[in-house]
Structure 1
């Protein structure tokens, strides 16, 4: 992930989420929310140091789950991961903040998509073809981290489980059978638990 020093990240007013219908946990209808939240007039870039404790703004976070042949890529968050409050927890999601440097003069979906693909490229080396699809949103107002972030969940279905970490912060990484994730879910960060329960359990 990008350094937090002087980082300006994409945010939307939490009031817009309220207007669309605030939810707790996972919501599958991401298109309806993002078609409004990622309109340029609803987005802005703010210093990350200021918005990390401001629940009136939601930081938009790409959260990509890598899946192949009934297994899911997971890792333990290490010290180089940007969000210190999640260190040592297991995670399924690869991604991070949408930085102003990703924008190219834009504040909408194009900037978001650029950031998502940059984060994937920075964090993992994927050596398999696959299909990337939007799966839903995650909102968790029950935790200090969750109340200032909104997760945009993507599933990346790969033909082969050929993924390796590029960052030291993705420790103890590898593909794990979905059944094992269900048994071990309490070791995972909240967003990953939502994905395990809502997206992966049925699969």
Structure 2
């Protein structure tokens, strides 16, 4: 017997379009996210169908881990997407975002599926030992490629007190903190969402 297919959290594109034009990096998170998360149209659908259906957008928490060293230099945790079970179309690109799909299981017991799913993804992908403050920095929608057409990223900014982060998965290879200025200089090696986030937040 095959395993039950994962059902993931999606919103019809028409709901987003009714709120406004979402393209690239959108700093006004609440304008879009609050009505999306409150919408009756928010639902869980089979992942295999959603990956090729741009009439629905998959909500993806995209967590940036930021740490400032003693000299005031701002760093971001970055890694190379490896060959694990993640999004195959993004492999070999560097990323500064931790996160993934919100699954139907994240709503078990009446839990907030978005918040629960974000914490589950973090726990699966990294070991985070530092205290931090959290804020939402923006939304990302990039329809320039097949991956981007079916995903909307919610960019969360975790400002860490110390650089105590380790990768949990082989899918997150070469994990470590890199100065933002270095990442800017190596921008072409980053996945599109990471480029957009760095340009908007640290530009």
Q: TM-score, normalised by structure 1?
A: 0.93
2:171 match: 169
Question: What number of residue pairs does the alignment pair up?
Answer: 196
Tell me the secondary structure at the aligned position of residue 40 of structure 2: helix
CA change 1:71–1:5 in 2 (3 A) is: farther
What is the deviation of 1:82? 1.5
Aligned equivalent of 2:152: 150
Q: Secondary structure at the match of 1:103?
A: helix
Q: Secondary structure at the match of 2:174?
A: strand
Q: Which residue of 1 aligns with 2:71?
A: none
Counterpart in the other structure of 1:197? 199
Q: For structure 2, list consecutive stretches of 5 or more residues without a partner in the other structure.
A: 69-73
Instruction: Provide the secondary structure at the position in 2 that maps to 1:94.
Output: coil
C-alpha distance in 1 between matches for 2:4 and 2:143: 26
Query: Which runs of 5 or more structure 1 residues have no equivalent in the other structure?
Result: none
In structure 2, distance between residues paired with 1:15 and 1:144: 18
Cα drift, residue 22 of structure 1: 2.3
Contact 1:185 1:196 in 2 (8 A): no
TM-score between the two structures when normalised by the length of structure 2: 0.93
**Divergent runs of 4+, >4 A:** none
Aligned-residue Cα RMSD (Å) equals: 1.4
User: Which protein is bigger by CA-based radius of gyration?
Assistant: 2
Q: CA deviation at 1:31?
A: 1.0
Structure 2 match to 1:97: 101
